[in-house]
Each structure stands twice: as structure tokens, then as C-alpha cells.
Amino acid sequence: MILLRFACPASLVARGMAIRAEHEADLPTLRALFRTQRWAEFALLPWDDAAREAFIDQQFDAQRRHYILGQEQVLFLVVTEGDHVIGRLYLGGDAATTVCLLDILLLACRRGQGIGTALIEALVAQVTRDGRNVVLQVDKHNPALELYRRLGFRAYDETGVAWKMAWSHGVSHAR
């Protein structure tokens, strides 16, 4: 069995960043990061902040369970800068033929600085070097869709609300 693995790109190491396996102690920070990402989606609902927070926390837990149960292997990684967690990178798949970019999420203050691009480019380079494919699924209205397209991902299917995309050795999956 080929195990999922990922090495931090040198360009991020040079900027004082690292990638490591997620620890139990990271969960409160990651939960807060997820909450800030999803908060605006639920702003129009007639809920108070406590109800909104509880619902988003349930989604965080459900998402983790879904990733664990739905993938042959899962690798939960955190992006750090010094001692601070600034993001997460979740990978899944069978590792032998396909690695799925399940989720990439950075603190709002760290977006737009090339960190996500560097992580995705490194993932593609590391995975495709030995003939495997990289896939992902992205909401049709997610601003990251343009980033994925720019980096060579092409839609090959849709779920109604999301695109299934792949980057696989120049094989076009474009619709």
C-alpha cells in the first residue's frame, strides 16, 4: 500500500512555514478557522450567534467524519508559521492512483499571498511525479475555482452545486 504523504514546498519553508500532521490540540484552532470561513453563509438565518456557532461546529465534525469514512486514506495536515497554525490541508484517496485535495483553508489574513498556490503546485508535482492523479471537488461559486483552473484543473463532472475537477498528466477532462 502506498501511503499518503506531503512535503512542504521549499518556497514556503523559506518564508518560515511548515506542514505537519494535525494534532488533537489543533482542533480548537481549526474549528475556529472553519467557523470564520462559514460564518457569513449563515448570517441571514434568524439564529443567534450561539445557535450559528453550534451549527457550524456540527458541520466541522460531520465534515471530518465524512472525510474519514469516504476515503481509503486521509491525511489531515496543518500549515504553520512559527508556532501558529495558519491553515489546513486535507488530503484523501487511495494513494496508489489518486490523491484527492479534500480541503485547503487559510486564515483570511494569509489568503492572496501565494500560499495556497504553492501548496497546490507542490501537491500536483509530488503526486504526478509517480503517475498518480490529483482530483478535487469545488462549489461552483467558490472563488478558488479560478485558482484551480489557472493551475491546470479541469471539470470532468458536476454534482449540481459543485464541479469535480482533475489534474492528470495533460489528459483533458474539460467539459
Q: How is the chain split into domains, by residue range?
A: 10-132
CB 138 within 8 A of CB 147: no
What's the pLDDT score for residue 174? 43
14, three cell numbers: 523559506
What is the DSSP-derived secondary structure letter of residue 161?
S
Which of the following CATH numbers is that of domain 10-132: 3.40.630.30, 2.70.70.10, 3.30.450.40, 3.30.365.10?
3.40.630.30
- Using alpha carbons only, what angle is made at residue 161 by residues 66 and 110, rounded to the nearest 5 degrees? 70
What's the pLDDT score for residue 18? 98
Whole-number Å distance between alpha carbons of 2 and 155: 26
- Residue type for 117, please? T
Residue 139 CB contacts under 8 Å (≥ 6 apart), including other chains: 145, 161, 162
Q: With 80 as the cut, is the pLDDT of residue 95 above it?
A: no
| Of 12-16, 25-29, 37-41, 100-104, the least confident | 37-41
CB 118 within 8 A of CB 12: yes
Reported as a single tens digit per residue, the pLDDT across 75-88 is: 999 999 999 999 99
What's the pLDDT score for residue 45? 86
Widest pairwise Cα distance in the chain: 50
Q: How many CB atoms lie within 10 A of CB 63?
A: 14
Whole-number Å distance between alpha carbons of 162 and 155: 10
CB 102 within 8 A of CB 71: yes
Q: How confident is the model at residue 173 (pLDDT cuts 50, 70, 90)?
A: very low
The reported pTM is: 0.90
Q: Which helix (H) or strand (E) holds 79?
A: strand 73-81
Whole-number Å distance between alpha carbons of 155 and 95: 21
What's the pLDDT score for residue 175? 40
pLDDT over 90, % of the chain: 78
Reported as a single tens digit per residue, the pLDDT across 59-75 is: 999 999 999 999 989 99
What's the pLDDT score for residue 168? 60
Q: With 50 as the cut, is the pLDDT of residue 118 above it?
A: yes
